[in-house]
Chain A
Amino acid sequence: MPASPAAAAKAAPSSDETPAISVKDLRKCFGDHEVLKGISLEAHKGDVISILGSSGSGKSTMLRCINLLETPDSGEVRVDGELIRMKPTRDGHQMPADIRQVERIRANLAMVFQSFNLWSHMTVLENLVAAPTHVLKRPRAECLEQAEALLKRVGIWERRNYYPPHMSGGQQQRAAIARALAMNPKVMLFDEPTSALDPELVGEVLRVMRSLAEEGRTMLVVTHEMGFARDVSSKVMFLHKGEVDSVGEPKEMFARPPTPQFKQFIANFNK
Protein backbone atom coordinates (compact mmCIF):
# COMPACT_ATOMS: atom_id res chain seq x y z
CA MET A 1 0.00 0.00 0.00
CA PRO A 2 1.40 3.43 -0.86
CA ALA A 3 1.87 5.45 2.29
CA SER A 4 3.09 8.79 1.07
CA PRO A 5 2.19 11.65 3.39
CA ALA A 6 -0.89 13.67 2.55
CA ALA A 7 1.11 16.73 1.64
CA ALA A 8 3.14 14.90 -0.98
CA ALA A 9 0.04 13.24 -2.35
CA LYS A 10 -1.63 16.56 -2.82
CA ALA A 11 1.31 18.23 -4.48
CA ALA A 12 0.53 19.22 -8.05
CA PRO A 13 1.36 16.24 -10.27
CA SER A 14 3.89 16.73 -13.00
CA SER A 15 2.07 17.41 -16.25
CA ASP A 16 3.90 14.79 -18.31
CA GLU A 17 2.73 11.97 -16.04
CA THR A 18 0.01 9.71 -17.50
CA PRO A 19 -3.26 10.56 -15.77
CA ALA A 20 -4.86 7.73 -13.79
CA ILE A 21 -8.19 8.70 -15.35
CA SER A 22 -8.72 10.87 -18.34
CA VAL A 23 -12.19 11.58 -19.66
CA LYS A 24 -12.72 13.60 -22.82
CA ASP A 25 -15.96 15.10 -24.05
CA LEU A 26 -18.21 12.46 -22.52
CA ARG A 27 -21.80 12.58 -23.76
CA LYS A 28 -24.77 10.53 -22.70
CA CYS A 29 -28.49 10.71 -23.46
CA PHE A 30 -31.32 8.75 -21.90
CA GLY A 31 -33.91 8.87 -24.67
CA ASP A 32 -33.98 12.47 -25.79
CA HIS A 33 -32.83 13.71 -22.38
CA GLU A 34 -29.20 14.75 -22.68
CA VAL A 35 -27.69 14.00 -19.28
CA LEU A 36 -23.99 14.55 -19.99
CA LYS A 37 -23.18 17.31 -22.46
CA GLY A 38 -19.47 16.86 -23.03
CA ILE A 39 -17.68 16.25 -19.73
CA SER A 40 -13.90 16.23 -19.49
CA LEU A 41 -11.90 15.34 -16.45
CA GLU A 42 -8.39 14.36 -15.56
CA ALA A 43 -7.31 12.68 -12.35
CA HIS A 44 -3.65 12.11 -11.60
CA LYS A 45 -2.24 9.63 -9.20
CA GLY A 46 -3.08 10.70 -5.65
CA ASP A 47 -5.79 13.11 -6.70
CA VAL A 48 -8.96 13.18 -4.65
CA ILE A 49 -11.59 14.85 -6.76
CA SER A 50 -14.89 15.77 -5.18
CA ILE A 51 -17.71 15.95 -7.67
CA LEU A 52 -20.50 18.23 -6.55
CA GLY A 53 -23.78 19.12 -8.15
CA SER A 54 -27.45 19.17 -7.42
CA SER A 55 -29.58 16.08 -7.82
CA GLY A 56 -30.03 15.12 -11.46
CA SER A 57 -27.00 17.05 -12.69
CA GLY A 58 -25.43 13.83 -14.02
CA LYS A 59 -22.88 13.00 -11.32
CA SER A 60 -23.77 9.32 -11.04
CA THR A 61 -24.09 8.94 -14.78
CA MET A 62 -20.60 10.37 -15.24
CA LEU A 63 -19.11 7.99 -12.70
CA ARG A 64 -20.98 5.06 -14.23
CA CYS A 65 -19.76 5.97 -17.70
CA ILE A 66 -16.18 5.75 -16.47
CA ASN A 67 -16.52 2.09 -15.48
CA LEU A 68 -18.97 1.38 -18.28
CA LEU A 69 -21.94 0.57 -16.07
CA GLU A 70 -23.50 3.02 -18.52
CA THR A 71 -22.29 3.17 -22.09
CA PRO A 72 -21.42 6.72 -23.11
CA ASP A 73 -22.79 7.89 -26.46
CA SER A 74 -19.50 9.50 -27.39
CA GLY A 75 -16.28 10.70 -25.88
CA GLU A 76 -13.33 8.76 -24.57
CA VAL A 77 -12.32 7.27 -21.26
CA ARG A 78 -8.70 6.38 -20.55
CA VAL A 79 -7.53 4.55 -17.47
CA ASP A 80 -3.82 4.78 -16.86
CA GLY A 81 -3.45 5.87 -20.47
CA GLU A 82 -5.37 2.90 -21.85
CA LEU A 83 -8.30 3.90 -24.02
CA ILE A 84 -11.50 1.90 -23.51
CA ARG A 85 -12.19 0.87 -27.08
CA MET A 86 -15.70 1.32 -28.41
CA LYS A 87 -17.38 0.20 -31.59
CA PRO A 88 -20.48 1.59 -33.29
CA THR A 89 -23.76 -0.27 -33.04
CA ARG A 90 -26.39 -0.54 -35.76
CA ASP A 91 -28.69 1.95 -34.04
CA GLY A 92 -26.04 4.65 -34.21
CA HIS A 93 -24.83 4.37 -30.63
CA GLN A 94 -21.69 2.63 -29.47
CA MET A 95 -20.74 -0.30 -27.29
CA PRO A 96 -17.51 -1.65 -25.82
CA ALA A 97 -15.41 -3.30 -28.52
CA ASP A 98 -13.84 -5.77 -26.15
CA ILE A 99 -15.73 -6.80 -23.03
CA ARG A 100 -12.60 -8.49 -21.63
CA GLN A 101 -10.81 -5.16 -21.73
CA VAL A 102 -13.72 -3.53 -19.92
CA GLU A 103 -13.66 -6.23 -17.24
CA ARG A 104 -9.92 -5.85 -16.78
CA ILE A 105 -10.24 -2.08 -16.45
CA ARG A 106 -13.21 -2.37 -14.08
CA ALA A 107 -11.08 -4.53 -11.80
CA ASN A 108 -8.78 -1.51 -11.46
CA LEU A 109 -11.64 0.86 -10.70
CA ALA A 110 -13.37 -0.34 -7.57
CA MET A 111 -16.69 1.33 -6.94
CA VAL A 112 -18.46 2.20 -3.71
CA PHE A 113 -22.20 2.65 -4.14
CA GLN A 114 -24.69 4.84 -2.35
CA SER A 115 -26.70 1.79 -1.32
CA PHE A 116 -23.59 -0.32 -0.54
CA ASN A 117 -24.62 -3.20 -2.82
CA LEU A 118 -22.76 -5.74 -0.73
CA TRP A 119 -23.67 -9.23 -1.91
CA SER A 120 -26.35 -10.07 0.60
CA HIS A 121 -25.95 -13.85 0.45
CA MET A 122 -22.25 -13.70 1.35
CA THR A 123 -20.68 -12.90 4.69
CA VAL A 124 -18.57 -9.78 4.93
CA LEU A 125 -15.41 -11.85 4.56
CA GLU A 126 -16.77 -13.63 1.49
CA ASN A 127 -17.72 -10.26 0.02
CA LEU A 128 -14.10 -9.20 0.36
CA VAL A 129 -12.54 -12.30 -1.19
CA ALA A 130 -15.03 -12.97 -4.00
CA ALA A 131 -13.63 -10.60 -6.60
CA PRO A 132 -9.92 -10.91 -5.72
CA THR A 133 -10.09 -14.69 -6.00
CA HIS A 134 -12.40 -14.95 -8.99
CA VAL A 135 -11.37 -11.88 -10.98
CA LEU A 136 -7.73 -11.34 -10.05
CA LYS A 137 -7.22 -15.10 -9.53
CA ARG A 138 -5.20 -14.57 -6.39
CA PRO A 139 -4.82 -17.45 -3.92
CA ARG A 140 -7.71 -17.66 -1.50
CA ALA A 141 -5.58 -17.88 1.64
CA GLU A 142 -3.72 -14.72 0.72
CA CYS A 143 -7.02 -12.92 -0.04
CA LEU A 144 -8.49 -13.98 3.29
CA GLU A 145 -5.50 -12.66 5.14
CA GLN A 146 -5.68 -9.34 3.32
CA ALA A 147 -9.46 -9.18 3.87
CA GLU A 148 -9.06 -9.60 7.62
CA ALA A 149 -6.42 -6.88 7.70
CA LEU A 150 -8.68 -4.53 5.76
CA LEU A 151 -11.63 -5.25 8.03
CA LYS A 152 -9.46 -4.45 11.03
CA ARG A 153 -8.48 -1.23 9.37
CA VAL A 154 -12.08 -0.11 8.81
CA GLY A 155 -13.00 -1.31 12.29
CA ILE A 156 -15.46 -4.13 11.58
CA TRP A 157 -13.27 -7.20 11.93
CA GLU A 158 -15.60 -8.51 14.67
CA ARG A 159 -18.37 -8.59 12.07
CA ARG A 160 -16.40 -10.50 9.46
CA ASN A 161 -18.76 -13.48 9.56
CA TYR A 162 -21.92 -11.42 9.52
CA TYR A 163 -24.23 -11.10 6.57
CA PRO A 164 -24.70 -7.53 5.30
CA PRO A 165 -28.39 -7.27 6.30
CA HIS A 166 -27.29 -7.86 9.89
CA MET A 167 -25.16 -4.74 10.05
CA SER A 168 -25.81 -1.02 10.35
CA GLY A 169 -25.55 1.17 7.26
CA GLY A 170 -22.26 2.63 8.41
CA GLN A 171 -20.79 -0.83 8.95
CA GLN A 172 -22.05 -1.98 5.56
CA GLN A 173 -20.51 1.00 3.82
CA ARG A 174 -17.20 0.46 5.59
CA ALA A 175 -17.36 -3.19 4.49
CA ALA A 176 -18.07 -2.00 0.95
CA ILE A 177 -15.02 0.28 1.07
CA ALA A 178 -12.92 -2.63 2.34
CA ARG A 179 -14.29 -4.77 -0.50
CA ALA A 180 -13.13 -2.09 -2.94
CA LEU A 181 -9.70 -1.87 -1.28
CA ALA A 182 -9.29 -5.64 -1.54
CA MET A 183 -8.91 -5.18 -5.30
CA ASN A 184 -5.90 -2.89 -4.82
CA PRO A 185 -7.58 -0.56 -7.30
CA LYS A 186 -5.75 2.17 -9.18
CA VAL A 187 -8.71 4.50 -8.77
CA MET A 188 -11.67 4.33 -6.41
CA LEU A 189 -15.07 5.62 -7.48
CA PHE A 190 -17.47 6.73 -4.74
CA ASP A 191 -21.08 7.53 -5.61
CA GLU A 192 -22.56 9.43 -2.66
CA PRO A 193 -21.17 6.94 -0.14
CA THR A 194 -22.78 8.64 2.85
CA SER A 195 -26.12 9.74 1.40
CA ALA A 196 -28.02 6.62 2.47
CA LEU A 197 -26.72 6.75 6.06
CA ASP A 198 -28.32 8.05 9.21
CA PRO A 199 -26.57 11.30 10.19
CA GLU A 200 -24.83 9.74 13.20
CA LEU A 201 -23.22 7.09 10.97
CA VAL A 202 -21.80 9.47 8.37
CA GLY A 203 -18.74 10.29 10.46
CA GLU A 204 -17.37 6.73 10.67
CA VAL A 205 -17.47 6.37 6.87
CA LEU A 206 -15.95 9.79 6.24
CA ARG A 207 -13.10 8.96 8.64
CA VAL A 208 -12.23 5.90 6.58
CA MET A 209 -12.37 7.90 3.35
CA ARG A 210 -10.22 10.61 4.81
CA SER A 211 -7.58 8.05 5.77
CA LEU A 212 -7.61 6.72 2.21
CA ALA A 213 -7.07 10.21 0.87
CA GLU A 214 -4.20 10.70 3.28
CA GLU A 215 -2.39 7.59 2.11
CA GLY A 216 -2.43 8.91 -1.44
CA ARG A 217 -5.25 6.94 -3.03
CA THR A 218 -6.69 8.25 -6.26
CA MET A 219 -10.37 8.87 -5.68
CA LEU A 220 -13.34 10.31 -7.53
CA VAL A 221 -15.95 11.11 -4.92
CA VAL A 222 -19.48 12.19 -5.72
CA THR A 223 -20.64 13.72 -2.46
CA HIS A 224 -22.84 16.20 -0.70
CA GLU A 225 -20.42 16.41 2.23
CA MET A 226 -19.10 19.94 1.85
CA GLY A 227 -16.62 19.47 4.70
CA PHE A 228 -15.04 16.52 2.91
CA ALA A 229 -14.96 18.37 -0.40
CA ARG A 230 -13.32 21.43 1.12
CA ASP A 231 -10.89 19.86 3.57
CA VAL A 232 -9.95 16.49 2.12
CA SER A 233 -10.10 16.67 -1.66
CA SER A 234 -7.38 18.05 -3.86
CA LYS A 235 -9.81 19.27 -6.49
CA VAL A 236 -13.49 20.15 -6.64
CA MET A 237 -15.56 19.77 -9.75
CA PHE A 238 -19.04 21.23 -9.94
CA LEU A 239 -21.48 19.74 -12.41
CA HIS A 240 -24.49 21.74 -13.50
CA LYS A 241 -27.10 20.34 -15.90
CA GLY A 242 -24.70 17.85 -17.41
CA GLU A 243 -21.82 20.23 -17.89
CA VAL A 244 -18.70 21.01 -15.91
CA ASP A 245 -19.61 24.36 -14.48
CA SER A 246 -16.36 24.92 -12.62
CA VAL A 247 -13.27 23.11 -11.41
CA GLY A 248 -10.73 24.28 -8.94
CA GLU A 249 -8.71 24.07 -5.80
CA PRO A 250 -11.19 23.44 -2.95
CA LYS A 251 -10.33 26.27 -0.54
CA GLU A 252 -10.30 28.73 -3.40
CA MET A 253 -13.60 27.44 -4.83
CA PHE A 254 -15.38 27.71 -1.52
CA ALA A 255 -13.85 31.06 -0.59
CA ARG A 256 -14.54 32.64 -3.96
CA PRO A 257 -17.14 30.68 -5.96
CA PRO A 258 -16.16 31.16 -9.61
CA THR A 259 -19.68 31.03 -11.03
CA PRO A 260 -23.11 32.20 -9.87
CA GLN A 261 -24.40 28.59 -10.11
CA PHE A 262 -21.76 27.30 -7.71
CA LYS A 263 -22.32 30.21 -5.39
CA GLN A 264 -26.04 29.44 -5.39
CA PHE A 265 -25.29 25.75 -4.78
CA ILE A 266 -23.20 26.33 -1.65
CA ALA A 267 -25.58 28.99 -0.44
CA ASN A 268 -28.36 26.37 -0.51
CA PHE A 269 -26.19 24.08 1.56
CA ASN A 270 -25.40 26.64 4.20
CA LYS A 271 -29.07 27.45 4.72
Chain B
Amino acid sequence: MDFDFYLSTMWSVLKALPLTLEIWFSGVAIGLVIATGLTWLRASGYKLGEYFTRGYVFVFRGSPLLVQLYLIYFGLSQFDFVRHSPILWPILRDPMYCTIVAMALNTAAYSSEIFRGSLRAVPVGQIEAAKAFGMSAFTRFRLVTLPIALRLALPAYSTEIILMTKATALASVVTIMEMMGTAQKIQHDTFRPIEVLTCAGVIYLLLNLSIARLFAWVEYLLSPHLRPAPEQSQQVKPVPEVL
Protein backbone atom coordinates (compact mmCIF):
# COMPACT_ATOMS: atom_id res chain seq x y z
CA MET B 1 0.00 0.00 0.00
CA ASP B 2 1.17 3.48 -0.89
CA PHE B 3 1.04 5.23 2.50
CA ASP B 4 2.50 8.42 1.15
CA PHE B 5 -0.31 8.69 -1.38
CA TYR B 6 -2.92 8.03 1.30
CA LEU B 7 -1.36 10.63 3.56
CA SER B 8 -1.09 13.31 0.90
CA THR B 9 -4.66 12.63 -0.27
CA MET B 10 -5.94 12.75 3.30
CA TRP B 11 -4.22 16.04 3.78
CA SER B 12 -5.57 17.56 0.57
CA VAL B 13 -9.13 16.47 1.35
CA LEU B 14 -8.81 17.64 4.96
CA LYS B 15 -7.82 21.08 3.72
CA ALA B 16 -11.28 21.27 2.16
CA LEU B 17 -12.98 20.37 5.45
CA PRO B 18 -13.49 24.01 6.54
CA LEU B 19 -15.40 24.69 3.31
CA THR B 20 -17.55 21.59 3.83
CA LEU B 21 -18.25 22.69 7.39
CA GLU B 22 -19.12 26.19 6.21
CA ILE B 23 -21.68 24.89 3.70
CA TRP B 24 -23.05 22.46 6.23
CA PHE B 25 -23.33 24.96 9.06
CA SER B 26 -24.85 27.73 6.94
CA GLY B 27 -27.34 25.36 5.35
CA VAL B 28 -28.37 23.86 8.69
CA ALA B 29 -28.57 27.24 10.46
CA ILE B 30 -30.65 28.93 7.78
CA GLY B 31 -32.71 25.76 7.43
CA LEU B 32 -33.41 25.86 11.15
CA VAL B 33 -34.71 29.41 10.91
CA ILE B 34 -36.97 28.53 7.98
CA ALA B 35 -38.12 25.34 9.72
CA THR B 36 -39.02 27.34 12.82
CA GLY B 37 -41.08 29.69 10.68
CA LEU B 38 -42.79 26.79 8.89
CA THR B 39 -43.55 25.03 12.17
CA TRP B 40 -45.03 28.18 13.58
CA LEU B 41 -47.09 28.74 10.44
CA ARG B 42 -48.35 25.18 10.57
CA ALA B 43 -49.21 25.34 14.27
CA SER B 44 -50.78 28.79 14.10
CA GLY B 45 -54.09 27.32 13.04
CA TYR B 46 -54.48 29.43 9.91
CA LYS B 47 -55.77 27.33 7.03
CA LEU B 48 -53.64 29.24 4.52
CA GLY B 49 -50.53 28.63 6.62
CA GLU B 50 -51.32 24.96 6.78
CA TYR B 51 -51.79 24.66 2.99
CA PHE B 52 -48.58 26.56 2.36
CA THR B 53 -46.49 24.39 4.68
CA ARG B 54 -48.06 21.19 3.37
CA GLY B 55 -47.23 22.25 -0.18
CA TYR B 56 -43.72 23.28 0.83
CA VAL B 57 -43.02 19.97 2.54
CA PHE B 58 -44.52 18.06 -0.38
CA VAL B 59 -42.22 19.76 -2.89
CA PHE B 60 -38.96 19.85 -0.95
CA ARG B 61 -39.26 16.51 0.72
CA GLY B 62 -40.61 14.81 -2.36
CA SER B 63 -37.87 15.66 -4.84
CA PRO B 64 -34.13 14.92 -4.75
CA LEU B 65 -31.87 17.59 -3.34
CA LEU B 66 -29.74 17.29 -6.49
CA VAL B 67 -32.73 18.29 -8.64
CA GLN B 68 -33.44 21.23 -6.34
CA LEU B 69 -29.83 22.34 -6.51
CA TYR B 70 -29.73 22.20 -10.33
CA LEU B 71 -33.02 24.07 -10.60
CA ILE B 72 -31.85 26.79 -8.25
CA TYR B 73 -28.40 27.17 -9.81
CA PHE B 74 -29.19 26.74 -13.51
CA GLY B 75 -32.97 27.18 -13.55
CA LEU B 76 -33.55 30.44 -11.70
CA SER B 77 -30.94 32.32 -13.71
CA GLN B 78 -33.17 31.85 -16.77
CA PHE B 79 -35.53 34.48 -15.38
CA ASP B 80 -34.75 38.07 -16.26
CA PHE B 81 -36.12 39.41 -13.03
CA VAL B 82 -33.70 37.20 -11.09
CA ARG B 83 -30.75 38.37 -13.13
CA HIS B 84 -31.78 42.00 -12.69
CA SER B 85 -32.56 41.76 -9.02
CA PRO B 86 -29.90 43.43 -6.88
CA ILE B 87 -30.68 41.05 -4.01
CA LEU B 88 -31.32 37.72 -5.72
CA TRP B 89 -28.66 37.76 -8.40
CA PRO B 90 -25.57 38.10 -6.18
CA ILE B 91 -26.83 35.06 -4.29
CA LEU B 92 -28.07 32.94 -7.17
CA ARG B 93 -25.11 33.39 -9.49
CA ASP B 94 -22.78 32.07 -6.80
CA PRO B 95 -22.67 28.24 -6.70
CA MET B 96 -21.70 28.27 -3.03
CA TYR B 97 -24.72 30.36 -2.06
CA CYS B 98 -26.94 28.27 -4.30
CA THR B 99 -25.84 25.11 -2.52
CA ILE B 100 -26.53 26.68 0.85
CA VAL B 101 -29.96 27.89 -0.27
CA ALA B 102 -30.87 24.46 -1.68
CA MET B 103 -29.73 22.71 1.47
CA ALA B 104 -31.51 25.16 3.73
CA LEU B 105 -34.79 24.90 1.83
CA ASN B 106 -34.53 21.12 1.75
CA THR B 107 -33.63 20.54 5.39
CA ALA B 108 -36.28 23.04 6.48
CA ALA B 109 -38.94 20.76 5.01
CA TYR B 110 -37.73 17.72 6.95
CA SER B 111 -36.99 19.64 10.14
CA SER B 112 -40.38 21.33 10.26
CA GLU B 113 -42.00 17.90 10.07
CA ILE B 114 -39.78 16.70 12.92
CA PHE B 115 -40.66 19.76 15.02
CA ARG B 116 -44.35 19.45 14.25
CA GLY B 117 -44.31 15.84 15.40
CA SER B 118 -42.44 16.58 18.60
CA LEU B 119 -44.74 19.50 19.47
CA ARG B 120 -47.72 17.19 19.10
CA ALA B 121 -46.03 14.57 21.26
CA VAL B 122 -45.77 16.86 24.31
CA PRO B 123 -48.09 15.19 26.84
CA VAL B 124 -51.31 17.16 27.08
CA GLY B 125 -51.28 16.90 30.90
CA GLN B 126 -48.04 18.91 31.03
CA ILE B 127 -49.65 21.74 29.09
CA GLU B 128 -52.90 21.57 31.05
CA ALA B 129 -50.98 21.93 34.29
CA ALA B 130 -49.33 25.06 32.89
CA LYS B 131 -52.74 26.42 31.90
CA ALA B 132 -54.27 25.57 35.25
CA PHE B 133 -51.56 27.57 37.00
CA GLY B 134 -52.40 30.68 35.03
CA MET B 135 -49.46 30.72 32.62
CA SER B 136 -50.00 32.76 29.48
CA ALA B 137 -49.67 31.05 26.11
CA PHE B 138 -46.16 32.46 25.69
CA THR B 139 -44.97 31.44 29.17
CA ARG B 140 -46.49 28.01 28.68
CA PHE B 141 -44.62 27.60 25.44
CA ARG B 142 -41.31 28.83 26.82
CA LEU B 143 -41.34 26.92 30.11
CA VAL B 144 -43.15 23.73 29.23
CA THR B 145 -43.93 23.01 25.58
CA LEU B 146 -40.64 24.09 24.03
CA PRO B 147 -38.23 22.38 26.45
CA ILE B 148 -40.15 19.12 26.25
CA ALA B 149 -40.56 19.30 22.47
CA LEU B 150 -36.85 20.07 21.99
CA ARG B 151 -35.85 16.95 23.87
CA LEU B 152 -38.31 14.91 21.84
CA ALA B 153 -37.04 16.39 18.57
CA LEU B 154 -33.36 15.89 19.23
CA PRO B 155 -32.87 12.25 18.12
CA ALA B 156 -34.62 12.73 14.77
CA TYR B 157 -33.13 16.18 14.24
CA SER B 158 -29.59 14.94 14.82
CA THR B 159 -30.16 12.31 12.14
CA GLU B 160 -31.34 15.03 9.76
CA ILE B 161 -28.22 17.07 10.49
CA ILE B 162 -25.99 14.10 9.77
CA LEU B 163 -27.80 13.61 6.49
CA MET B 164 -26.95 17.23 5.73
CA THR B 165 -23.20 16.70 6.19
CA LYS B 166 -23.42 14.02 3.55
CA ALA B 167 -25.52 16.28 1.34
CA THR B 168 -22.71 18.85 1.25
CA ALA B 169 -20.97 16.47 -1.18
CA LEU B 170 -23.50 17.58 -3.80
CA ALA B 171 -21.84 20.99 -3.87
CA SER B 172 -19.15 19.37 -6.01
CA VAL B 173 -21.56 19.15 -8.96
CA VAL B 174 -21.77 22.93 -9.10
CA THR B 175 -17.97 23.30 -9.07
CA ILE B 176 -17.43 23.86 -5.35
CA MET B 177 -14.14 22.41 -4.18
CA GLU B 178 -15.29 21.16 -0.83
CA MET B 179 -14.12 17.71 0.31
CA MET B 180 -15.94 15.75 -2.37
CA GLY B 181 -14.97 18.18 -5.12
CA THR B 182 -11.35 18.01 -4.02
CA ALA B 183 -11.44 14.21 -3.89
CA GLN B 184 -12.86 14.06 -7.40
CA LYS B 185 -10.15 16.34 -8.73
CA ILE B 186 -7.42 14.16 -7.19
CA GLN B 187 -9.14 11.12 -8.61
CA HIS B 188 -9.17 12.64 -12.11
CA ASP B 189 -5.54 13.66 -11.82
CA THR B 190 -4.25 10.33 -10.47
CA PHE B 191 -6.74 7.71 -11.75
CA ARG B 192 -6.71 6.10 -8.30
CA PRO B 193 -10.41 6.28 -7.32
CA ILE B 194 -10.35 3.57 -4.65
CA GLU B 195 -7.68 5.19 -2.51
CA VAL B 196 -9.09 8.69 -2.93
CA LEU B 197 -12.69 7.76 -2.20
CA THR B 198 -11.58 5.69 0.78
CA CYS B 199 -9.84 8.75 2.22
CA ALA B 200 -12.89 10.97 1.66
CA GLY B 201 -15.20 8.31 3.09
CA VAL B 202 -13.11 7.97 6.25
CA ILE B 203 -13.15 11.72 6.84
CA TYR B 204 -16.93 11.89 6.39
CA LEU B 205 -17.29 8.98 8.79
CA LEU B 206 -15.18 10.66 11.47
CA LEU B 207 -17.00 13.95 10.97
CA ASN B 208 -20.40 12.34 11.41
CA LEU B 209 -19.18 10.35 14.36
CA SER B 210 -18.20 13.59 16.12
CA ILE B 211 -21.52 15.22 15.29
CA ALA B 212 -23.43 12.19 16.54
CA ARG B 213 -21.41 12.20 19.77
CA LEU B 214 -22.04 15.90 20.22
CA PHE B 215 -25.78 15.41 19.89
CA ALA B 216 -25.75 12.42 22.19
CA TRP B 217 -24.03 14.61 24.76
CA VAL B 218 -26.56 17.44 24.37
CA GLU B 219 -29.36 14.90 24.67
CA TYR B 220 -27.81 13.56 27.84
CA LEU B 221 -27.48 17.04 29.32
CA LEU B 222 -31.09 17.91 28.53
CA SER B 223 -32.65 14.71 29.83
CA PRO B 224 -31.66 14.21 33.47
CA HIS B 225 -35.26 13.21 34.18
CA LEU B 226 -35.04 10.29 31.75
CA ARG B 227 -31.90 8.83 33.28
CA PRO B 228 -32.07 6.31 36.11
CA ALA B 229 -32.95 7.78 39.47
CA PRO B 230 -30.05 9.04 41.56
CA GLU B 231 -29.17 7.23 44.77
CA GLN B 232 -31.01 8.54 47.80
CA SER B 233 -27.78 9.52 49.57
CA GLN B 234 -26.29 11.29 46.58
CA GLN B 235 -26.87 15.02 46.39
CA VAL B 236 -28.03 16.26 43.01
CA LYS B 237 -27.08 19.77 41.99
CA PRO B 238 -30.07 21.82 40.90
CA VAL B 239 -29.92 22.46 37.17
CA PRO B 240 -29.71 26.19 36.46
CA GLU B 241 -32.59 27.61 34.51
CA VAL B 242 -31.57 27.21 30.89
CA LEU B 243 -34.45 28.87 29.10
Interface string of A94-137 (1 = CB under 8 A from B): 00000110011111111101010111110101100011001100
Q: How many residues on chain B are close to A (CB under 8 Å)? A: 33
Per a CB cutoff under 8 Å, which of A103, A115, A125, A165 touches B136? A103
Q: Who on chain A is nearest to B229 by CB?
A: A166
- Contact assessment for A134 and B139 in the assembled complex, using a CB-CB cutoff below 8 Å: yes
Given contacts A69-B128, A117-B129, A166-B230, contact A161 B136 (CB under 8 A): no
| Closest B residue to A120 using CB positions | B225
> Chain A residues near B133 (CB, 8 Å)?
106-107, 110-111, 130-131, 135, 179, 183
Q: Are B134 and A161 in contact (CB under 8 A)?
A: no
In the bound complex, how far is the Cα of B241 from the Cα of A108, in angstroms? 25
Inter-chain contact B132/A106, CB cutoff 8 Å: yes
User: Is A113 in contact with B126, judged by CB distance below 8 angstroms?
Assistant: no
Q: Which of A109, A120, A125 interacts with B238 by CB under 8 Å?
A: A125
B148 beta carbon closer than 8 Å to chain A: yes
A132-169 to B contact mask, C-beta < 8 Å, 1/0: 00110000000000000000000000100111111000
Give Cα A125–Cα B235 distance, bound, in whole angstroms. 14
Question: Interface of chain B, helix or strand or loop or mixed?
Answer: helix
Shortest A169–chain B CB gap in Å is 14
Inside 8 A of B235's CB, which chain A residues have their CB? 161
Instruction: Let me know if A117 and B128 touch, CB within 8 A.
Output: yes
Q: Given the known inter-chain contacts A121-B151, A135-B135, A166-B230, please indicate yes or no for A113 contacting B239, CB distance below 8 A.
A: no
Residues of B within 8 A of A161 (CB): 235-238
CB-CB under 8 A from B128, the residues of chain A are 69, 113, 117
In the complex, A194 has a CB within 8 A of chain B: no
Check if B132 sits within 8 Å of A163, measured CB to CB: no
Which residue of the partner chain, among A69, A115, A121, A134, contacts B132 with CB atoms under 8 Å? A69
Contact with A along B164-191 (1 / 0, CB 8 A): 0000000000000000000000000000
* A67 contacts chain B at the CB level, 8 A cutoff: yes
CB of B120 within 8 A of chain A? Answer: no
- Does B230 contact A117, Cβ atoms closer than 8 Å? no
Interchain nearest-CB distance for A109 vs B (Å): 8
- What's the least CB distance linking A4 to chain B, in Å? 26
Q: Indicate if the CB atoms of A123 and B238 lie closer than 8 Å.
A: yes
Contact residue among B132, B139, B224 (Cβ-Cβ distance under 8 Å from A110)? B132
**Alpha-carbon distance A67/B133, docked complex (angstroms):** 9
Report yes or no: A120 in contact with B134, Cβ–Cβ below 8 A.
Answer: no
Contact of B134 among A107, A121, A158, A179 (CB under 8 A): A107
Tell which of A100, A103, A107, A110 has the most Cβ of chain B within 10 Å.
A103
Give me 14 A-to-B residue pairs in the complex whose CB atoms sit less than 8 angstroms apart, sorted by A's number: A103-B134, A106-B134, A107-B134, A111-B129, A119-B126, A120-B126, A121-B223, A123-B239, A126-B238, A126-B239, A135-B133, A135-B139, A158-B232, A189-B132
Q: By the criterion CB–CB under 8 Å, are B132 and A119 in contact? A: no
Binary B-proximity of A161-197 (CB < 8 A = 1, otherwise 0): 1111110000000000001000100000100000000
Least distance between B183 CB and chain A CB atoms (Å)? 43
**Residue B41 CB within 8 A of the other chain:** no
In Å, the complex CA distance between A252 and B51 comes to 61
